[in-house]
Amino acid sequence: MANELHIVSTPSLDANGEVMLEQAGEPVAVVMSYARYQALQERIEELEDALDSLKVEMRVTTGAVRTMSHDDVWAEVEALEQRQLPS
């Protein structure tokens, strides 16, 4: 029947501790260990962080954002503080 799920197990899937489920001959789900799931989630997060870093680097490289050295930031903070002090 078309609504039945079938377990598809191949050596490459078994090596990762994963089993694919098919319905009507089409893959619909993968069953894996929780440890494997956690590892995949962690890898996704790492890749998202790397992408965010590259986006920032691109904005800096193209001049889309202003950058300042540490010394320039402190000089600006001190200048602002001086203007706010009563004379």
Report the distance separating Cα 44 and Cα 50, nearest Å.
10
Mean pLDDT by 10 residues, the chain (87 residues): 68 68 85 91 98 95 90 90 70
pLDDT at 41: 97
Sole residue written with tokens 């009563």: 86
Confidence (pLDDT) at 29: 87
Handedness of CA 14, 15, 18, 21 (dihedral sign): negative
Q: What is the pTM of this model?
A: 0.60
